[in-house]
Structure 1
Amino acid sequence: MRTVLSLLSGALLCALVSCNSDSQTTTQTTAAATTAAQPPKATSKAAPQTILFFGNSITAGYGVEPEEAFPALIGQKLDSAGLAYTIVNAGLSGETTAGGRNRVGWVLRQPVSVFVLELGGNDGLRGLPLPDTRRNLQAIIDTVRRRSPQAQIVLAGMQIPPNMGPDYATQFKKLYAELAQKNQVKLIPFLLEGVGGVRKLNQRDGIHPTPAGHRLVARNVWAVLQPILQQPATVAP
């Protein structure tokens, strides 16, 4: 059994680099894309199952080594559990829900088994209109269901400080639970549970987790992801 940490194909890589100037993320993306091997075309064997993490700098592992980011740590948990999945890290620093809506089609050119959606934090920190965030997340979910109807979708909930006002922060938090309920997808209530606001678990910017913080994030994700992987895949209506 082999779990591969990969990014995106060359064509998508060019598109991502052109829309993001973050040099560290570009370097990590290029390195991962260069070293990741394309799986052979399936013949008599079933196609490998893929878990795709689609998010922003937290998913991309900003400020830490690629193997220290939570998607790679999930890969280690899969290996330990003897579960044969390929991990694809499609995180992009600075990504908003609008940006994710524009690029999600690129990452779904091949079917996926599980799609972990981690976006919205940058919308909230910038005070973008919540109806727009909601529409963009819904559009991403809709696209996943069109392109990979068999995929299980996991929505990572996020919370923000009350800088934009307590009502904005409250409504921002609620929209994730509402979207999860509406679409009948699995919800990670708060991706950064136990990490957000804890100084020693975050880098100097107070936003991005340290390696120790990523280990806790991986634990939060695994608590929701593990039961899904033990269930047979179902086709969304």
Structure 2
Amino acid sequence: MLLNLAYGAVGAVRKAVLAAALLLALPAWAEPVNLAALGDSLTQGYGLPPEEGFAPQLEAWLRDNGHDVSITNAGVSGDTTAGGLSRVGWTLTPEIRGMIVALGGNDMLRGIDPANSRENLRGILVAAREAGVEVLLVGIQAPGNYGPDYKAAFDNMYPELAEEFGTLHADNFFAGLAVEGDPSAAATYLQPDGLHPNAAGVSKIVAALGPKVALLLDRIDRD
């Protein structure tokens, strides 16, 4: 009887040691990778229930596609690139490993000089580089009503900054809403204000942008 108890105790110890060894053998990135989505009302989820906004839908899409990720919603309605620059420091908390930057729409709506917007975005990218945080820079396309020079300067600042800093780049936040041969079809996916996507629109935006965010995750050093 005592011998059986001794063997039982040894077996229990062996199992405990084995379990501890397995836990130590797990990769260091077993916990979710934390991303921040720095943006304006498009990122914040204006006019939508929290669970239907951009950050929650993107997080769900990534998880459905095999990525263990947590996304902090750092979108502020009405924010400009200057506003994003002013708060990027407290957005880049120690646990943040990557950042989606989607700013500039409100600069364009206010007719702000693209040179100023460019410098603000550059400041955000500098802060991310100093923090060792990988970035996906998401552009937005200016309409033609400000003239061709404004449109060119605004549209080009995103790919040029992405090249300068070696960041990932997505051409247009609204790319997922484009319907070939029917420009008016995008209205189906917008709220009544004609500016912000509805829940179905966010879903299409996320489906188009998700693979770029997956590439961002692949860039992150998980050691």
Q: Per the shorter chain, which TM-score range? A: 0.7 to 0.9
Which is helix-richer, 1 or 2? 2
2:215 corresponds to: 227
**Amino acid of the structure 1 residue aligned with 2:221:** A
Matched, 1:85 2:73: no
Query: Do the aligned partners of 1:195 and 1:213 also contact (CA within 8 Å) in 2?
Result: yes
Structure 2 stretches of 5 or more lacking a match?
Answer: 1-26, 179-183
**Equivalent-residue separation in structure 2 for 1:219 and 1:106 (angstroms):** 29
| Alignment RMSD | 2.1
Percent identical among aligned pairs is 34
2:147 corresponds to: 165
1:155 corresponds to: 137
Check 1:171–1:232 CA distance in 2 against 1; reply closer, same or farther (3 A cut). closer
Give the alignment's TM-score, normalised by structure 1. Answer: 0.74
Aligned residues: 190
**What are the superposed Cα offsets for residues 31-78 of structure 1, whole Å, 9 maximum, x if unpaired?**
xxxxxxxxxxxxx96664201100000000101111111221111123
**What are the superposed Cα offsets for residues 127-161 of structure 1, whole Å, 9 maximum, x if unpaired?**
10111100000000111121x21x21000011122
**Amino acid of the structure 1 residue aligned with 2:162:** A
2:160 corresponds to: 178
1:59 corresponds to: 43
1:210 corresponds to: 198
Task: Give the one of 116, 125, 145 matched to 2:109.
Answer: 125
1:72 corresponds to: 56
**Equivalent-residue separation in structure 1 for 2:153 and 2:216 (angstroms):** 28
Q: Larger C-alpha radius of gyration, 1 or 2?
A: 2
**Equivalent-residue separation in structure 2 for 1:220 and 1:206 (angstroms):** 20
Check 1:141–1:71 CA distance in 2 against 1; reply closer, same or farther (3 A cut). same
1:116 corresponds to: 100
User: What SS is found at the alignment partner of 1:53?
Assistant: strand
Structure 1 stretches of 5 or more lacking a match?
Answer: 1-43
Task: Report the alpha carbon displacement of residue 231 of structure 1 after superposing the two structures with TM.
Answer: 4.6
**Amino acid of the structure 2 residue aligned with 1:114:** G
**Amino acid of the structure 2 residue aligned with 1:181:** E
User: What SS is found at the alignment partner of 2:193?
Assistant: coil
Task: Give the one of 172, 176, 190 matched to 1:190.
Answer: 172
